Structure 1
Amino acid sequence: MKKMIFAVLALTAASVFSWADSSPFKSDSPDEYVVEKGDTLWDISETFLDSPWLWPEIWHANPEIENPHLIFPGDVVRLVYIDGQPRLTVDRTVRLTPGGDAKLEPTVRVLPIEEAIPAVSLDKIASYLSRSRIVMPDEVEGVPYIVGGSEKRLITGKGDTAYARGTVPDGIGNFDVFRQGETFVDEQTDEVLGIHALGIGGVSIDKIDGEIIRVHVTRSDEELRAGDILLPNVERSVDSIFYPSAPDFPIEAEVLAVEGGVTQIGKMDIMIINQGDRDGVQVGNVFEAFVRGETIEDRVTGDTLKLMDERAGLVMVFRTFEKLSFAIVMEATRPMAVGDLLRNP
């Protein structure tokens, strides 16, 4: 009997040590954290977890609160045990008096979803959520384009009159104005992956005379220039609430471009990668970034050697298109560059 008890205790201890070795939680993880305005889901995940992309695996939605999958300033994220396993959940509190809190009962207070904390600071990605997009060649073929401003000005801003040339589809009076950027092509297959279109403003149609279109500039994030194209103003639902997660299956991507055309990429920089919806990439997917190993010559033997790829940090996808995606650098242990590789964490 003593041997049996000892065996059970030994097995229990072994399982505890095994869990401790594989636990996603940091050794100094707090028991709870009060969410503050300005926090991001990545920040909170890093507070508790060694690997922030494991958030979906350890999150337990509290069924007693409104929108249990969202986190708001003032919420308390707690480390709890459910069926013997550590999980994170949220308690929603409401401030009654200075220094006094009360637990929020279901449906007592409904918070606007817009107030939920985002995965990453929206200041960093806002223009890429609302202004930039990836378009295909057929989407921009034959569309109207700016030819100049009034009084022969080549650039115009908000409130100005400008002129465009082209054919306006029936029933459309408002357009977004885009500046065509780089066209991305698969080097192996020559397939066009997309064109980076930077949104710079908006116009409304004033008058059409043949192929000449007079427009009023209603929005100007940058000055409009000759050659900028007009695309119909279409409301697109772009979700800013998402969660860090690992891809569902192995994916390898390559960095094609970086915001501003800089040569080296650091933390919070925006990049365009060569994988998208068709490849299974999802918003929130986290990848490890690797600097490609150099190719060198062995001076002893004359052989050509390929050095190992070196880990450079973490990036998270925040918007996907059919063949490409936008991602942001969340961690940078060394400078990255166009051509570097992304792999599952």
Structure 2
Amino acid sequence: MAATKERFFKRYFQGKKIAFIFAAQFFLVGPVVHGQDEPDLKKESRFHQLYETYNVNPTQDESWTGAVTGKAQTYSIQNGDTLWGLSETLFGDPQFWPKIWSINNQDIENPHQIEPEQVLQFIPGTTSVPPQMAVADGATPVAAAPPVPQAPLEADLNSPEIPEKLKNMAPVAPVPGSMPRWQFGREEAGEVQMDLLPARRNMGSPELSLDYYLADQVSSAVGTVVEVENGNQTAGDKQFVVVQFPGEVIDKQFIAIKELGGLKDPVTKKEGQLVQIQGEIEVRQVVNSEKSLYRAWIPRVVAPVEVGSKLVFGSIPTYNESADGPMAQAQAHIVGGKFDTDRSLFSSHDIVFLVGDSLEVGSIYPVYRVQTARNEDSRERQNPRRIGEVKVIKTTVSFATAVVLESTEEMRVGDTTSPENRTEK
């Protein structure tokens, strides 16, 4: 019997766009009632009767078309209905919803929101006649009016009609007498005087802290950093350290330095000591008089202050990169730069070290390219090219520390400040 019912539903609902699975589940299984396992003989008899009626003697296509078309039907819009769902329910295809909206756009402003209690009147139509539908309050179907073709707009471009010029409008309110009356006119040409302002000078560059320099020899330290109060091996701004001095040094200022090794000039055979400046130290109070230990404050650093750094009198030197110093000439050449003793390439803003005579702080010196510093086998010996400028910011007996103001290419150890100066080994 179950197979008979399934065949019945397959044939009866074929082509009617009704979900077979849902119908089969509902009619075959039926509502679940706990404790009811016996078959429903009345329902089975009804299924058999339907099968005999519509399977043995199916409805002819002409009869079916006449039954479902040409008659107006109505449907009351319920809460939760949408034009998409109504189109699928009434016509078997949800794509008809724009047609419903286009016919009823005066009543339905938003196609995604339709009002309940309205009556949807429709004629399903056939394969040759499209469906007709409308939304109204009464029971009379409202058919869509066929579009009326409009005559094309004709315009005479040979003699266009020019509109009349608008008349000048009077002001909204009369202008008060206290207001000035604007009049157009011109003044007689007279002598024009101009004040030429001098060009604005460069206001200079900010002061920078010097963090490396080249000394003549190993520094004579007056004290040593022996401890950082927080237990670390380095200290920064606004921290306390413990320092050791042989004598009374309270309320005196020092700088902490670290020596990085010797730097020897292969031309003059002079050797200097590369020094790193770490920060300023202010001694505050004694913490161990037997071992001459003092508690010191670090107001400013340019690098972390390390345990073991030496202390010398003074403060952190400063410089600027302004080009307002005097241009000068001297017999000198580059022997190295900051960070380490093996560095050999430099560019703008770098710190370099020079060896030579008559180098003065604040003076600016040109730098010339020496080809043998790049290629030892080069045969170029004359007319070295100018590649930049340096400004001296600190001097010792044999060496000078300078900043590179500008460079058109990299500077190297061996480049000179004079086109006649040779740096051959």
TM-score (norm 1): 0.51
Q: Which residue is equivalent to 1:233?
A: 314
Superposed, 1:202-241 pairs within 5 Å as 202-207=281-286, 208-209=288-289, 210-233=291-314
Runs of 4+ in 1 over 6 A off after TM superposition: 235-242
Query: Larger relative contact order (C-alpha < 8 A, sep ≥ 6)?
Result: 1
CA distance in 1, matches of 2:402, 2:244: 35
Q: 1:325 aligns with which of 393, 400, 403?
A: 400
| Structure-1 separation of matches of 2:197 and 2:363 | 24
1:145 Cα deviation after fit = 1.5
What is the CA–CA distance in structure 2 between the aligned matches of 1:214 and 1:336, rounded to whole Å?
A: 44
Aligned residue number for residue 158 of structure 1: 237
CA distance in 2, matches of 1:289, 1:182: 28
Cα deviation 1:92-125 (Å, max 9, x = unaligned): xxxxxxxxxxxxxxxxxxxxxxxxx33xx336xx
Q: Where do 1:38-187 residues align within 5 Å?
A: 39=202, 117-118=203-204, 121-122=205-206, 126-128=208-210, 132-137=212-217, 140-168=219-247, 173-187=252-266
Aligned match of 2:415: 340
Alignment match, 1:245? 326
In structure 2, do the counterparts of structure 1 residues 220 and 199 end up closer, same or farther at CA, with 3 Å as the change threshold? Answer: closer
The runs of 5 or more residues in structure 1 that have no matched partner are 1-30, 40-116, 297-304
Q: Deviations over 1:249-283 (max 9, x none)?
A: xx3322122344564322332212113xx534452
Question: Aligned partners of 1:238 and 1:268: how far apart in 2?
Answer: 12
Show structure 2 runs of 5+ residues with no match. Answer: 1-195, 421-425
Please tell me whether Structure 1 or Structure 2 has the larger radius of gyration of its CA atoms. 2
Letter in 2 for 1:158: D
Aligned partner of residue 254 in structure 2, secondary structure = strand
User: Are the counterparts in 2 of residues 312 and 334 from structure 1 also a CA contact under 8 Å?
Assistant: no
Root mean square deviation, CA, Å: 3.6
Task: Name the aligned partner's letter for residue 122 of structure 1.
Answer: P
AA in 2 matched with 1:266: S
Letter in 1 for 2:412: A
**Out of 307, 310, 315, which is 2:389 matched to?**
315
Percent of aligned pairs with the same residue? 12
Q: Deviations over 1:197-225 (max 9, x none)?
A: 42433332321522433323232333211
For residues 119-169 of structure 1, the C-alpha deviation after alignment (integer angstroms, 9 at most, x for no partner) is xx336xx112xx55554436x334211122125321122333212234245
1:255 paired to 2:334: yes
Q: TM-score, normalised by structure 2?
A: 0.43
Query: CA 1:282–1:177 in 2, change beyond 3 Å: closer, same or farther?
Result: closer
Q: Which amino acid aligns with 2:411?
A: M
Closer, same or farther: CA 133–166 of 1 in aligned 2, 3 Å: same
The count of corresponding residues between Structure 1 and Structure 2 is 217
Mapped to 2, the partners of 1:329 and 1:237 lie a distance apart of: 15
Alignment partners' CA distance in 1, 2:411 and 2:388 = 11
Secondary structure of the residue aligned to 1:220 is coil
Q: Residue 229 and residue 343 in structure 1: after superposition, are their counterparts in 2 closer, same or farther (change >3 A)?
A: same
- Separation in 1, partners of 2:214, 2:309: 15
The change in CA–CA distance for 1:220 and 1:127 in structure 2 (over 3 A counts) is: closer
- Aligned twin of 1:34: 199
